[in-house]
Amino acid sequence: MQQMPVAPQWSPGKHYSTMTQRMRRLFTAIFTAGLAFNASAQIDSTRRELIQLGYNQPLIGKSPLAAYGFYYLNQPNYFQRTNLTLRLALAPVYLDSELGISEALGPNTDLGIGIAGGGFADSYSEIHRGKYEQRESFRGHGGEVSASLYHLFNPGARIPLYAVLRGAAHYSAFSEDSNTDNNFTVPDDQFIYRIRAGLRWGGREPLMLPDLAMELSVWYEGEFRGEPGRYGYAGDREFRGNSHLFWARGLLTYTFPESKHSFGVNLTTGSGTEMDRLNSYRLGGNLPLYSEFPLSLPGYYFQELTAQTFVLLGANYNFPLDARQHWWISTLAATAYVDYLEDLGQSGDWNSGVGGGVVYRSASDSWQIAFAYGYGVDAIRNGDRGAHSLSLLVQFDLDSTRRRFFDPSDNIGRSRGLQSIIRNIFR
């Protein structure tokens, strides 16, 4: 379940002011900290053009800045070829892309060719017992090429069942951060080879607040590293050669047609063998589009808990406040059983969080914004239990906006009015 935090590529010295470092990290986090839709499970036949933003801010303690900001495009009929689909997620210093070729290996088997990479894609932040250990954290830059097969078992069925097989070659280059301890040795640069296989029945659209979704899926991912070894303080931690991860997810999101109330439930479980800090499961925070399989716990730091085995159950309920359904109340809760990775354990196997907030949705859903509060019931802060955080999520649908303002069939008066304004500006 590899995640992809990324950041601008420069290296200010340790003499820089605290404010300068904070501004650099903020730029890093907001624009490149995470890209969703990595390793999507099938070729998407719907055109999408979105801008997604997300940010988590703890109110107690210090954590790595957690955010994402990216442009997402899914373009069927690419180059006017009916069998080509381009998927692109773009941040200032990171690119994740795939060219899908429908029916490349038969009427129900598609092929995807992917390229991804950029600055800080493989960075690691150490968090232990609720404390962010900056002196044991480091940067990682990376890139990869991949090939994927998507086979549809039940063409014509209402809910598709896909098999996914993906192979990827990844290169990681590690370096010290400005706060890394001089006595701390980072892992060696190396090639990493991954293979992923899975079955997915249904799925979830890549949207901040989908109205309907259903998925049952099971997955395996093997990771094989070219230069395993030891790193850290005098080699006190291991960078293992081969690891094997297994996980499964079931989710349901439903909106009642009359009341427009909606609810969602999500159960995810995972385990593995020969795992280490850089390829284990990490739970915490509320950034739903940071990865394909987000492991959210409201109120916790983003990726605060490191697990070799876990079971995570989450639920949410949303309802409108006004007749026009612009303003909504959202509530959420999650609980997880965690078998911690060796050396990163803490007292208590169960971790729970609750939260709630306000959502605004425009009339055409061209943009949405959500502001929420989260309380980490079992999070450790300064020797006590309980943590607080705020989160901000924004989605801007460029396709919907373009239709709303420029399509004469949608609203001739609005379109002509906007054209008149533009003419006056550039007169």
pLDDT at 425 over 70: no
Tens-digit pLDDT profile for residues 315-325? 999 999 999 99
Q: Is 233 helix (H, G, I), strand (E, B) or coil?
A: strand
**Contact criterion met (CB below 8 Å) for 58 and 388:** yes
Tens-digit pLDDT profile for residues 41-70? 678 989 999 999 999 999 999 999 899 999
pLDDT at 14 over 70: no
Find, among 250, 282, 284, 252, the residue nearest to 267 by Cα. 250
Task: Using the structure block, give the residue that is written with the tokens 């990682």.
Answer: 140
pLDDT at 190 over 60: yes
DSSP code of 79?
A: G
Residue 150 included in any domain = yes
Displacement of CA 126 from its chain's centroid (Å): 19
Q: Looking at 5-14, 17-26, 34-43, 391-400, which range is the least confident one? A: 5-14
What pLDDT band is residue 363 in, cutting at 50, 70 and 90? confident
pLDDT at 410 over 90: no
Largest CA distance in the chain: 71
What pLDDT band is residue 81 in, cutting at 50, 70 and 90? confident
**pLDDT above 70 as % of the chain:** 84
- In this structure, what CATH number is given to the domain that contains residue 394? 2.40.160.50
- For 25-44, what is the mean pLDDT? 48
**Contact criterion met (CB below 8 Å) for 198 and 220:** yes
Residue 307 included in any domain = yes
| Better-scored residue on pLDDT, 148 or 415 | 148
The confidence score (pLDDT) of residue 401 equals 72
The confidence score (pLDDT) of residue 427 equals 39
**Contact criterion met (CB below 8 Å) for 58 and 301:** yes
Containing structural domain, residue 357: 18-425
Distance between start and end Cα atoms, the chain: 53
Residue 414 included in any domain = yes
What pLDDT band is residue 32 in, cutting at 50, 70 and 90? very low
The confidence score (pLDDT) of residue 39 equals 41
Cα–Cα distance for residue pair 77/367, rounded to 1 Å: 25
pLDDT at 5 over 60: no
- For 238-262, what is the mean pLDDT? 96
Q: Is 396 helix (H, G, I), strand (E, B) or coil?
A: strand
Backbone angles phi, psi at 423, to 5 degrees: -60, -40
The confidence score (pLDDT) of residue 399 equals 82
DSSP code of 399?
A: H
- For 294-322, what is the mean pLDDT? 97
3-state SS track over 89-128: EEECCEEEEEEEECCCCCCCEEEEEEEEEECCCCCEEEEE
What single letter denotes the amino acid at residue 336? A
Backbone angles phi, psi at 401, to 5 degrees: -65, -40
Cα–Cα distance for residue pair 91/116, rounded to 1 Å: 11
Gyration radius of the chain over CA positions: 22
Displacement of CA 98 from its chain's centroid (Å): 17
Residue 400 token pair:
């919907």
Residue 260 included in any domain = yes
Tens-digit pLDDT profile for residues 382-405? 999 999 999 999 999 998 776 655
Residue 411 included in any domain = yes
Residue 8 included in any domain = no
- For 88-98, what is the mean pLDDT? 93
Residue 285 included in any domain = yes
What pLDDT band is residue 18 in, cutting at 50, 70 and 90? very low
If one counts the domains in the chain, the total is 1
Residue 356 included in any domain = yes
Task: Using the structure block, give the residue that is written with the tokens 């949608």.
Answer: 410
DSSP code of 12?
A: -
